[in-house]
Amino acid sequence: MSYRIGIDVGGTFTDFLLLAPDGTGSVFKTATTPLDPAVGLLNGLQDMADTHSSSLPEFVQQVGLIVHGTTVATNAVLTGTGARTGLLTTDGFRDALQMRRGIREAQYDNRVSAPTPLVPRYLRRTATERVDYRGHVCEALHESEVQSAAEEFSDGSVEAVAICFMHAYANADHEKRAASLLRDALPEVYVTASSELLPQIRFYDRTSTTVLNAYVGPLVKRYLESLTARLEEEGFAGLLLIMQSNGGVVSAQVTMRAAAGTLLSGPAAGPIAGLSFAKEYSSGDCITVDMGGTSFDAALIVNRLPHIVTDGRINGHLLALPMLDIHTIGAGGGSIGWIDAGGFLRMGPQSAGAVPGPACYECGGELPTSTDADLVLGYLAPDYFLGGKLQLYPDKARVAIREHVAEPLGMDVEEAAAGMFAVINNNMADGIREISVQRGYDPRDFPLVVAGGAGPIHAAVIAQELEIPLLIIPRASSIFCAAGMLFSDLKHDYVRAYPTSFEGLDPNRLRDITGEMESEARATLIAEHISAEKLRLHFSLDLRSQGQYHEVSVPIAWPELAALNLSAIGERFHTQHDQLYGYAVPEAPLELVSVRLTGIGETEKPHLPEIDRRPPASEHALRGARPVFLPERNKFTEVHVYAGDELQYGNQVEGPAIIEQETTTIFVTDAYQVSCDALGSFAMSLKDLAQPAVENLLLWEEA
């Protein structure tokens, strides 16, 4: 056995989880180096080597697996620093990228404007060609126009070219030929054809996604080539896998071709980690939340599968590749408190970030943040933030809150801090409702898996608002996504357009399409050294009622596909439609839009060591007591403070209490009690929960 490392590059810190061959884990953090993220990554590996009293090459040679989530693509789109990109499209459709879907996307907000296209108009070129929706060639490709476009792209010093022709999903010959001509004429340019990346209907969706891939492709390719070379120089001979937005991992070589798949690379590991920690409870379904310094991410897992969407947006640009549905709002430890024009207290989405940071950091920040409020309310210890590595200054926090919140609202500092705490908690509760109630699910039916350095301080109050009976706070919550990467499987998504009425579906054509996708998936996964018994295929059909614009993806089992049981598939569509939108029209005829396949290669998961169960008593971990604001009582109360690292499997803590770890703090309200479970997580449950329900939910209550 060898070491395994999960790496999540964030905006401020790069997080590492190092798993030893015996399953024991170690947490490392280094400062992110935005100009070259590989530097921060290698710094973390050096820290690990130092901890193990070995040189970097000696340590790296013992590493068998690195799973890496990268923000290279995300940052490029958010900051507008991607590659200089050209677009080649069908004559007459030069402006489709700018026209988007041709509808007002925020119908009731006149202030919203579409983002500037990633390809300026002078770099959008056209070629005469036409294929109809059946795949019939109406006009052959004028290759001379492709050659002319190549010359113009060369003159424009483009680094990448996106190719998107009308109906290329039905017949990709023209796109393939154009791609070949461009690659020959521009060998150093990164070329993406829509038929290679996303062969499905909806021209703007396909164009936007292809452009995004071209825009970030050169940066991701250069980064991964550089990282791979540096690791090889140090003697790394293991496997490097890259986290994808769909919640799976793929090889670095695949990522270089489909770079847009990394646009939510880091956050996508959160739900995977949540599923791993929640599997010991009930069905394993859960809601995951991750509160960091700037944002709050929430995701729903049903039937042990995170929810997938194919219409995500990155800085306003549509991405139609499958990606985990992670709802993000501007609510983090650095979220700034302010008073709006109506005199109401607001929290975020503006953030003090790491620089200048909250006022209590005394690093130049003068505006009150969520962290400042947490410090004033007693949830944070001034001398134990990051295990004592960073001193906090309550006086600075009080001054910022007094000047910018308390005095404008005519209240004292403690009242203002409590108001800030309540507002940001309400914002996050609404974020959870967005991914649960708005989709027809009751959040009370799901354990809440809590992550992020700031999440465990706020989670109990949020859960109480939503009446969630169980929270799970992993010990590694502050490096949650890095942990999730080590639990991820290889995953590849395939789609083929097949627009037809459901009743008019041709069984032979459907079997040809699914057979083609299956062969491609098996070949790809086998090339990634996945054995037949570790390979899983999941088919689904994108269906809609006749005349509808949006479709619903309906999973289909292999027997249904083989027998083509349309009745059963149709019933499932109507059930899902009712759950999503609150109604169903069973008598309406259905249309098939696309066929999808997800190919999964099961990876070897980390072995978590067995932990001996201890008695419930937790006095050995008692660190002291301090005044803490209790929202239920609306006053400060002296509560016990426990050392989280000293609490072990079976130990229990009654709320109200504070549990401190080096990288996070847990606030236990009056309504909850905490027990350490067999995985080392802190399980927080409602005290008045009926005992049978507790036994169904909590591992630590089982006989």
Residues 697, 139: Cα–Cα separation, whole Å? 63
Mean pLDDT of the chain: 89
Residues 447, 122: Cα–Cα separation, whole Å? 52
Q: How sure is the predictor about 453, in pLDDT bands with cuts at 50, 70 and 90? A: confident
What per-residue confidence (pLDDT) applies to 693?
42
Contacts for 389 with CB less than 8 Å, ≥ 6 apart:
none
Residues 335, 424: Cα–Cα separation, whole Å? 8
Contacts for 532 with CB less than 8 Å, ≥ 6 apart:
none
Residues 291, 276: Cα–Cα separation, whole Å? 19
Please, what are the domains in the chain?
Answer: 3-76+222-262 (3.30.420.40), 83-211 (3.40.50), 269-330+425-485 (3.30.420.40), 335-421 (no CATH), 490-601 (3.30.1490), 619-701 (no CATH)
Q: Residues 572, 557: contact at Cβ < 8 Å?
A: no
| H/E segment holding residue 65 | strand 63-69
Share of the chain above pLDDT 70, in %: 96
> What is the torsional sign of CA 367, 371, 377, 378?
negative
Q: Residues 485, 68: contact at Cβ < 8 Å?
A: yes
Q: Residues 377, 458: contact at Cβ < 8 Å?
A: no
Residue 169 has pLDDT above 60, yes or no: yes
Provide the residue type at 449 as one letter.
V
Residues 702, 255: Cα–Cα separation, whole Å? 44
What per-residue confidence (pLDDT) applies to 351?
84
Alpha helices in 330-454 (DSSP H): 370-376, 394-401, 407-409, 413-435
Residue 694 has pLDDT above 90, yes or no: no
Q: Residues 301, 286: contact at Cβ < 8 Å?
A: yes
Strand partners, 328: 297
First to last CA, the chain: 34
Q: What is the pLDDT of residues 476-503, one digit of tens each?
A: 787 888 888 888 899 999 999 999 998 8
Q: Residues 484, 273: contact at Cβ < 8 Å?
A: yes
Q: How sure is the predictor about 304, in pLDDT bands with cuts at 50, 70 and 90? A: confident
189 φ/ψ angles, rounded to the nearest 5 degrees: -95, 140
Decide the pairing of beta strands 672-676 and 652-654: antiparallel
Q: Residues 245, 323: contact at Cβ < 8 Å?
A: yes
Provide the residue type at 163 as one letter.
I
Nearest to 482 by CA among 43, 31, 19: 19
Residues 291, 449: Cα–Cα separation, whole Å? 11
Q: Residues 466, 429: contact at Cβ < 8 Å?
A: yes
Q: What is the pLDDT of residues 275-293, one digit of tens each?
A: 888 877 766 789 999 887 7
574 by DSSP, 3-state: which?
helix
Residue 598 has pLDDT above 90, yes or no: yes
Q: What is the DSSP string of 212-253?
A: HHHHHHHHHHHHHHHHHHHHHHTT--SEEEEE-TTS-EEEHH
Cis peptide before 656 (omega within 30 of 0): yes
Provide the residue type at 595 as one letter.
V
Q: How sure is the predictor about 122, in pLDDT bands with cuts at 50, 70 and 90? A: very high
What per-residue confidence (pLDDT) applies to 113?
81
Q: What is the pLDDT of residues 382-438, one digit of tens each?
A: 998 877 778 899 999 999 999 999 999 999 999 999 999 999 999 999 999 999 998
Q: What is the pLDDT of residues 336-389, one digit of tens each?
A: 999 999 999 999 888 887 678 899 999 899 999 999 999 999 999 999 887 777
**143-153 CB burial, b ≥16 within 10 A, e <16:** eebbbebbeeb
Residues 452, 279: Cα–Cα separation, whole Å? 20
Tokens 């229990």 correspond to 652
What per-residue confidence (pLDDT) applies to 1?
61
Residues 416, 406: Cα–Cα separation, whole Å? 5
What per-residue confidence (pLDDT) applies to 608?
62
Q: What is the largest CA-CA distance in the chain?
A: 81
